[in-house]
Structure 1
Amino acid sequence: MTHIEDPALIESPDRPVVPMNDLSRAISRDRVALSGALANVLDSGHVVMGPNHDAFQQELGAYLNLDHVLGVASGTDALELAIKAVMPKGRNVVVTAANAGGYTSTAALRAGFVVRYADVDSDSLCLSATSVQSSLTADVGVLVVTHLYGNLTDITTLVEMCHASGIRVVEDCAQAIGARRNGRVAGSFGDIAATSFYPTKNLGAIGDGGAVLTNNQKHADTVKQLRQYGWSSKYQAELPGGMNSRLDELQAAFLRSRIPQLDGLNGRRRAIIARYTEASAGGPLQVMPAVGEHHVGHLAVARSSRRTELRAALVRQGVQTDIHFPYPDYKQPGFRPVSQSLPVTELASSEIFSLPCFPELTEGEVDRVCNAIGTLI
């Protein structure tokens, strides 16, 4: 799947395009395993919450060293269920960052809560104890921390600060699955976590999917009920706020086949970003580094005050780019935002753009991107 964002950028045999992503390459690489997974599901006769679903939950839990992995239909559903499961009684405000694509805003509003935004750290572009401190008022029940671009940001102090005020912490690990810090995985620092298996994610399905992650038995039990209508038993709706959100057998089987590859593919992403970082040294754009096991390189993100100009120059050399994410949530009418001004968030939203970064990029394509970066003046 190749998206050409500029009509003037047309691929031809003598002018190939370096794409932002090409899912067909990963599917081709994994075709034998994926075909076997498909046959397994068809032969089993189970299509929803069957043996592959249960095995996937156990296998991903073992990989992450987490007690509970609960498959659901999407990453956004996972966020909604996680927020509902931990929101303290008597509170109704969710605090989050405004620079992570709006997924938490969608989930929190759909759950019936109020969303408030905090600014982010100027280096990581993730929330920090310093950036959120003034936002943690008495009505806040949940803080959602997105490990943006694949960076498991250090939230130890932030979690301690929230817990001291009775605030629960939800980690959004959709871009950081497999990231580790001090022997702990993304998703193990807060009270509960959500992740996505959208096809472009580091651990991607061949369709939609997501999961809620936690070491807390009570939270896990709540999510199990909420993901299936709030049932305590079949047709007995006990918990309010229930929904129909289940990871189907086919996606679970596909994902099972890809778990063993995850560390290697994350390493490949880091290596690509390291090449870009080196190529950009001393130039007009800076590529955010992805060094160490705490960063799984979901996106290769560059920053420049000359974004429009530099993106156009890269396009002319056959390199696609994109912007993740161009609009702060509090500037999006669909989120019914309260007027805010967050200086770091706003500056970053005007400077960031993404370079091609997926494990199936060839060395020749990485060379082309590096050479294109090197020509920028």
Structure 2
Amino acid sequence: MEFRDLKAQYNKYKKEIDSAIQEVINNTNFIGGKEVNVLEQRLAEYVGVKHCITCANGTEAMTLLMMAWDIKEGDAVFVPDFTFFSTGEIVSLRGATPIFVDVDRDTFNTDTTKLEKAINKVLDEGKLTPKVIIPVDLFGLPADHMEIEKIAKKYNLRVLEDAAQGFGGSINGKKTCSFGDAATTSFFPAKPLGCYGDGGAIFTNDDALAELLNSLKVHGKGDNKYDNVRIGINSRLDSIQAAVLNVKLTAFIEHELEDVNRVYKLYTEKLKGVVETPIIPEGYVSSFAQYTIKLKNKEERDALQAKLKEEGVPSMIYYTKPMHKQSAFAEFDYGDNNFEVTNELCDTVLSLPMHPYLSEEEANKVCRVLCKTLKVIKNE
């Protein structure tokens, strides 16, 4: 059993993927080929925004926005404490200060009440200037973007939606990657929409921002790549990855999002009353980058993971360490008092196999082994 079965996906679309890759090779347009333009147009249309700017990976997508918005030393950027390292990393890379915010226990996403408190704390201290909020659509579930946008407007802050794990999710029909002033996603292979290497994209309705980003991602180019009008970076999605993504985007739209939610419903029905299963608020759709359960404590979580492994059921822990405890951020001395939920989650979460190609038989096996194992653990 695979945790995220990319082999099954490839086998289903082998002919289309192989043909798309071969066409790029035949045309030898490896950088900036037509496949990239087609992909950007399709992604923008799917998400419902004017512009999609592809780039080398999801981390650089966020970095490019930090550059475009001139985020620098003395600025404060608000980031959830329970997320992958890169969301805070791109802030420090620019010399700015990441302000970590505890998350909601049910959704794993930014706690908006604590977010506003964090903003006011920074304002009261007067040492930093609040500039940006980065809500993360963790595990495929959109953050509380409506409330976050209200807070951002109140304090005149920009919003960068980090939808690295959230592509395909929605709130009342409005797709992830369409919230905030701009949004980013990742095409890392294990993401809801993944390529066969690294890749990322930025989404925005801002014409001037899109023009600036298209310059920054190619060495700050002007009219052409040898006319450099600003300092930029080299961050382009290559044509082979775009070709793969064009095939996968069709599959994602046609059935993968629906199929992964089928697995979610099956898991949740079988595990109800056994463990704490993911909570999806009314009107929300998750793309389920992960299906994450909560156990009673670290000992139970670790014992369950070990037993599952013995039975051939893979599982992962996202995340074992909060952002505020990462050594790379030690200089900020965040303390431990304001992160009660994140600290608990790092000790109790466990993610189960989750992908559109997980069969009912496999999902039933996961549930059967999990229920049996927990019964044994509790009786030991």
Preserved CA contact (<8 Å) 1:72 1:246: yes
2:311 to 311, 317, 323: 317
Q: Summarize deviations over 1:319-350 as a string: whole Å, max 9, x none.
A: 11110111111211123452232111111111
Preserved CA contact (<8 Å) 1:119 1:345: yes
2:173: which partner in 1? 183
Residue 22 (structure 1) shift: 3.0
The farther-off stretch of 328-337 and 80-89 is: 80-89
Preserved CA contact (<8 Å) 1:86 1:142: no
1:327: which partner in 2? 321
The farther-off stretch of 364-373 and 105-114 is: 105-114
2:269 to 267, 273, 278: 278
Q: Partners of 1:87 and 1:192 in 2: how far apart?
A: 14
Q: TM-score, normalising length from structure 1?
A: 0.90
1:28: which partner in 2? 11
Which protein is richer in helix relative to its size?
Answer: 2
Preserved CA contact (<8 Å) 1:119 1:343: yes
Q: Partners of 1:223 and 1:112 in 2: how far apart?
A: 20
Preserved CA contact (<8 Å) 2:73 2:95: no
For structure 2, the 5+ residue unaligned runs are: 124-128, 376-380
The farther-off stretch of 120-129 and 197-206 is: 120-129
Residue 173 (structure 1) shift: 0.8
Preserved CA contact (<8 Å) 1:73 1:247: yes
Residue 58 and residue 362 in structure 1: after superposition, are their counterparts in 2 closer, same or farther (change >3 A)?
Answer: same
Q: Partners of 2:240 and 2:172 in 1: how far apart?
A: 34
Q: Which amino acid aligns with 1:371?
A: R
Residue 67 (structure 1) shift: 0.6
1:110 equivalenced with 2:110 (yes/no): no
Q: CA RMSD in A?
A: 1.8
2:245: which partner in 1? 255
1:354 to 346, 351, 358: 351
Describe how 1:288-299 pairs up with structure 2 within 5 A.
Answer: 288-290=278-280, 294-299=285-290
Question: Tell me, what secondary structure is at the counterpart of 2:159?
Answer: strand
Residue 91 (structure 1) shift: 5.6
1:308 equivalenced with 2:298 (yes/no): no
Q: Summarize deviations over 1:157-197 as a string: whole Å, max 9, x none.
A: 21121122221000011111111212311122200011000
Describe how 1:1-377 pairs up with structure 2 within 5 A.
Answer: 18-87=1-70, 92-136=75-119, 137-138=122-123, 139-233=129-223, 234-240=225-231, 242-263=232-253, 264-283=255-274, 285-290=275-280, 294-304=285-295, 305=297, 306-340=300-334, 341=336, 342-375=339-372, 376-377=374-375
Preserved CA contact (<8 Å) 2:74 2:97: no
Preserved CA contact (<8 Å) 1:273 1:289: no
Q: Which amino acid aligns with 2:351?
A: S
Q: Which amino acid aligns with 1:367?
A: N
Q: Partners of 2:267 and 2:310 in 1: how far apart?
A: 18
Residue 261 (structure 1) shift: 1.5
Q: Partners of 2:175 and 2:5 in 1: how far apart?
A: 28
Preserved CA contact (<8 Å) 2:141 2:284: no
Preserved CA contact (<8 Å) 2:169 2:287: yes
Q: Which amino acid aligns with 2:216?
A: L
Q: Partners of 1:354 and 1:20 in 2: how far apart?
A: 9
Residue 163 and residue 84 in structure 1: after superposition, are their counterparts in 2 closer, same or farther (change >3 A)?
Answer: farther
Q: Which amino acid aligns with 2:11?
A: S
Residue 269 and residue 209 in structure 1: after superposition, are their counterparts in 2 closer, same or farther (change >3 A)?
Answer: same
Percent identical across equivalent pairs? 28
Q: Partners of 1:183 and 1:281 in 2: how far apart?
A: 27
Q: Partners of 1:196 and 1:288 in 2: how far apart?
A: 22
Preserved CA contact (<8 Å) 1:75 1:209: yes
The farther-off stretch of 195-204 and 359-368 is: 359-368
Residue 90 and residue 115 in structure 1: after superposition, are their counterparts in 2 closer, same or farther (change >3 A)?
Answer: closer
Q: Which amino acid aligns with 1:222?
A: L
Q: Which amino acid aligns with 1:361?
A: L
Residue 74 and residue 89 in structure 1: after superposition, are their counterparts in 2 closer, same or farther (change >3 A)?
Answer: closer
Q: Partners of 1:269 and 1:152 in 2: how far apart?
A: 16
Residue 337 and residue 27 in structure 1: after superposition, are their counterparts in 2 closer, same or farther (change >3 A)?
Answer: farther
Residue 87 (structure 1) shift: 4.8
Q: Partners of 1:158 and 1:227 in 2: how far apart?
A: 28
Question: Tell me, what secondary structure is at the counterpart of 1:286?
Answer: coil
